[in-house]
Amino acid sequence: MGHRFLPDLSADELAERQLAGLKWTVGHAFANCPAYERKFREMGLRPGDVKSLDDLARLPFTSVEDLREGYPLPLLSVPEEDVVRIHGSSGTTGKRKILAYTQKDIDTWKGMMARCYELAGCTRLDRVQICVGYGLWTAGAGFQLGCEHFGAMTLPVGPGMLDIQVQILADLGATTLCSTASMALLMAEEVEKRGLRGKVRLQRGIFGAEPHTPKMRERFEELLGLKDSFDIVGMTELYGPGTGLECAAHDGVHYWADLYILEILDPETLRPVAPGEIGEMVVTSLCKEAAPLIRYRTRDLTRLVEGDCACGLRLPRHDKILGRSDDMIIVRGVNVYPGQVAEVLGRFPELSSEYQIVLTRVEGKDYMAVNVERAEGRASGGDEALAKAVGQAMQKSLLVSAAVKVMDHGELPRTFAKSRRVLDERQ
């Protein structure tokens, strides 16, 4: 279909590349990384044992504990002089993960990001405003590298700084906005507040780094006048942002199966879930040099989307990231995911997309409070009845009671990074 960056591979060609990449990765890791060598030896495996893609299932897992043990340069598989860059995760869940990159890793990553811009419908005439963190975090570097490689115009503003942000947006006529979902909402509300809607030339948003709800997305799409928006996925361990992108058909995220293998496994049994079921994303890189990943347990939850995509792209898809297994909170013995709370709130048009869960413990008993906001322009008259209705819906869906508080629109914190939805004040 004449793509410059997106590959078009048949199932056989893809499998061939995956097998070659898997063999290379296993050989490379075994020969150059003591931690991997030990894991293989413990299981009585040698690189030559990988003869087909089915052999992936025999390989040992890697997890965040392996990254911690090897801190600060975990799973390093190249001599230090070949490392040209390090990055760190945003550190929202525990200690920051630090990962190393060779020049080839950087080049692979910029190609992945270029695929994202291409799939989002950008051309070299687009002006891409990048409103994510630069520095240790992968986001800024990834979006910028990819944008330049793709050949569009980069407007590297970084996160926050709303004055400069809206100035560049209006004066330079950015067509594409790259940010977290939270930052997209913040920018949208800022543009609205300043009455700049007519000056904004944005056509599309590429947003990610955290879960979003349909409500949140509708809101920033509407306020920014976007024609379309695309969920981008990624993580520091696997280069950074751009491991996959939602296409214009909006039926899942295409991921780069020629660069990594994705398994969806039951987190308890570590066996594949039934087709289309939700499980943990487990990834194996196919050409990553500095820190190869073999069956790395990401803790992100999603499912595979079966069948061919309406957009015609021959790359497999997974659903959006539905949450992380370590997001789960236990309230009075009941397992609760923040996404479940968001789902309930989505049913109430009287409410905005924002929420915050506050957990406390009084005399050994857990209490869950959920703070929500009235939708823009709604009067406060019915707050009490609304809180009651939301509380009842929550009880029904989560099987645990919550004290719901309805606040003014805009009262809950907005952020240009990832939103923190849970405040756990229990010891």
Dihedral sign, Cα of residue 40, residue 44, residue 49, residue 55: negative
Separation CA 215–CA 197 (nearest Å): 20
Residue 359: which of Zn ion, ligand AMP, none does it interact with, CB under 5 to 8 A by kind?
Answer: none
The CA-based angle 367-368-369, given to 5 degrees, is: 120
Residue 211: which of ligand AMP, Zn ion, none does it interact with, CB under 5 to 8 A by kind?
Answer: ligand AMP
Cβ atoms 130, 156 nearer than 8 A: yes
Cβ atoms 166, 157 nearer than 8 A: no
* Least distance to Zn ion, CB of residue 116, Å: 13
Residue 393 contacts Zn ion per CB under 5 A? no
Cβ atoms 40, 60 nearer than 8 A: yes
- The site string for ligand AMP over 310-349 (x = CB under 6 A, - otherwise) reads ----------xx--x-------------------------
Residue 138: which of Zn ion, ligand AMP, none does it interact with, CB under 5 to 8 A by kind?
Answer: ligand AMP
Interface with Zn ion (CB under 5 A), residue total 5
Q: Which of 45, 170, 305, 311 binds Zn ion (CB under 5 A)?
A: 311
Question: Which span (106-114, 168-176, 234-242, 354-362) binds ligand AMP, by CB under 6 A?
Answer: 234-242
Q: Is 281 helix (H, G, I), strand (E, B) or coil?
A: strand
Q: Which residue has the tokens 């060598």?
A: 37
Binders of ligand AMP among 126-145, rule CB under 6 A?
A: 138
- DSSP string covering 248-271, please? TT-SSEEE-TTTEEEEEE-TTT-S
Residue 90: which of ligand AMP, Zn ion, none does it interact with, CB under 5 to 8 A by kind?
Answer: ligand AMP
* Least distance to ligand AMP, CB of residue 285, Å: 15
Interface with ligand AMP (CB under 6 A), residue total 18
Separation CA 195–CA 337 (nearest Å): 37
The side-by-side arrangement of strands in the sheet containing 422-424 is: 403-407, 365-374, 351-362, 422-424
Output helix, strand, coil percentages for the chain, rounded to the nearest 5: 35, 25, 40
* Least distance to ligand AMP, CB of residue 404, Å: 25
Distance of CA 412 to the CA centre of its chain: 23
353 sits in which H/E element:
strand 351-362
- The site string for ligand AMP over 275-314 (x = CB under 6 A, - otherwise) reads -----------------------x-x--------------
- DSSP string covering 142-207, please? HHHHHHHHHT-EEEE--SS-HHHHHHHHHHTT--EEEEEHHHHHHHHHHHHHTT-GGG----EEEE
Residue among 356, 348, 425 at smallest CA distance from 387: 348
CB atoms within 10 A of CB 360: 14
Residue 210 contacts ligand AMP per CB under 6 A? yes
Nearer to ligand AMP, 89 or 102 (CB): 89
Separation CA 381–CA 302 (nearest Å): 40
Q: Which of 235, 264, 287, 342 binds ligand AMP (CB under 6 A)?
A: 235
Cβ atoms 280, 306 nearer than 8 A: no
Residue 246 contacts ligand AMP per CB under 6 A? no
Residue 208: which of ligand AMP, Zn ion, none does it interact with, CB under 5 to 8 A by kind?
Answer: ligand AMP
* Least distance to Zn ion, CB of residue 280, Å: 24
Nearer to ligand AMP, 236 or 356 (CB): 236
380 sits in which H/E element:
none
Cα radius of gyration (the chain): 22
Nearer to Zn ion, 5 or 24 (CB): 5
Nearer to Zn ion, 211 or 244 (CB): 244
Residue 309: which of ligand AMP, Zn ion, none does it interact with, CB under 5 to 8 A by kind?
Answer: Zn ion
Residue 234: which of ligand AMP, Zn ion, none does it interact with, CB under 5 to 8 A by kind?
Answer: ligand AMP
Residue 247 contacts Zn ion per CB under 5 A? yes
Question: Which span (14-22, 189-197, 230-238, 374-382) binds ligand AMP, by CB under 6 A?
Answer: 230-238
Residue 210: which of ligand AMP, Zn ion, none does it interact with, CB under 5 to 8 A by kind?
Answer: ligand AMP
Nearer to Zn ion, 247 or 290 (CB): 247
Nearer to ligand AMP, 232 or 404 (CB): 232
Residue 105 contacts ligand AMP per CB under 6 A? no
Q: Which residues contact 69 (CB under 8 A, 6 or more apart)?
A: 35
Binding site for Zn ion (CB under 5 A): 247, 249, 309, 311, 313
The residues binding ligand AMP (CB under 6 A) are 89-90, 138, 208-211, 231-236, 298, 300, 320-321, 324
